[in-house]
């Protein structure tokens, strides 16, 4: 007879090597330099647009593309962004959001600094952008790659959230492990929406667990990130995806007044992008 534990993987998670020697030697110097000159280094990865099965990496000066990569997730948090309405998807590239949230609870309007409640916001409702939401619910990951002293920031797009949650809860936490002690592989696969537009979704695979020294180092860096002010999302961190179906059954219950085409008339003050740049939220 089947056992409830058959629903969970019974395979032992293998130990893997993860070299942090280079990162340990430079991380403290980076921290000291930040205290002296201010600012924060940015190393960004984002999912390629148009269904391209590559991650686009950028340090602000140079861009590269990578099909898949591995690293340790040292910190993570929810992240919402409302991007300006435009005529076509290409115009959305690299435009900063009108409003963004670094905790999924409170949004900050870029133009005015006004705080908005994400839960009650009319843009955070299925049906305000096709069958999806005008506000993009995402999840920001900070990933330490091997021998890299600066964590990579990756915003998980709305279409990949279900896979992310399943991985974090069912694969890692249910195995009695922390995200900071496992090496995760990030890859991409293609999906197509009802309009025939291709987009990429992020896949997660647990490669193995690291030793206590690596876990302690990653936990300490993660704690440092958690205690620092969170950076507001910028336009170069996310390629806006085509509208896709919601990941639940809520669409049938959406009131007619919140169906596509009505939101701009009800909330006209959200139309224009901001000229003000808040560095941190």
More confident position, 231 or 90: 231
User: Averaged over 144-148, what is the pLDDT?
Assistant: 89
Q: What was the pLDDT predicted at 164?
A: 96
| Structural domain spans, the chain | 15-25+41-241
Average pLDDT value for residue range 161-171 = 94
Q: Which pTM value belongs to this model?
A: 0.79
Q: What average pLDDT does the chain have?
A: 80
Q: Is 235 exposed, middle or buried (0-12, 13-18, 19+ CB in 10 A)?
A: middle
More confident position, 33 or 244: 33
Indicate the pLDDT class of residue 253, thresholds 50, 70 and 90: very low
Tokens of 66: 């990578």
Beta strands in the chain (DSSP E): 44-47, 55-58, 63-66, 69-82, 99-101, 106-109, 115-117, 135-144, 152-156, 182-192, 198-209
């Amino acid at each position: 007879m089947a056992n409830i534990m058959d629903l969970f993987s019974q395979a032992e998670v293998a130990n893997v090597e993860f070299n942090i020697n280079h990162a340990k030697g430079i991380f403290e110097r980076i921290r000291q330099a930040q205290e002296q000159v201010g600012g924060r280094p940015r190393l960004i990865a984002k999912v390629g647009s148009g269904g391209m099965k590559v991650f686009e990496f950028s340090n602000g000066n140079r861009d590269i593309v990578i099909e898949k990569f591995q690293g340790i997730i040292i910190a993570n948090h929810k992240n919402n962004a409302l991007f300006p309405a435009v005529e076509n998807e290409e115009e959305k590239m690299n435009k900063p959001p009108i409003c963004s949230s670094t905790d999924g609870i409170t949004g900050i309007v870029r133009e005015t600094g006004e705080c908005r409640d994400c839960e009650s916001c009319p843009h955070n409702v299925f049906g305000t952008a096709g069958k999806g939401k005008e506000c993009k619910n995402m999840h920001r990951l900070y990933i330490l790659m091997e021998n890299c002293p600066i964590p990579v920031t990756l915003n998980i797009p709305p279409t990949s959230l279900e896979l992310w949650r399943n991985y974090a809860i069912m694969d890692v936490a249910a195995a009695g492990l922390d995200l900071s002690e496992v090496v995760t592989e990030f890859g991409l696969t293609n999906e197509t929406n009802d309009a025939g537009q291709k987009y990429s979704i992020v896949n997660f695979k647990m490669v193995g667990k690291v030793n206590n020294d690596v876990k302690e180092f990653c936990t300490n860096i993660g704690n440092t990130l958690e205690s620092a002010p969170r950076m507001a999302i910028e336009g170069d961190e996310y390629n806006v995806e085509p509208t896709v179906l919601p990941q639940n059954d809520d669409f049938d219950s959406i009131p007619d007044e919140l169906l596509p085409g009505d939101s701009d008339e009800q909330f006209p003050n959200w139309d224009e992008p901001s000229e003000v740049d808040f560095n941190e939220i």
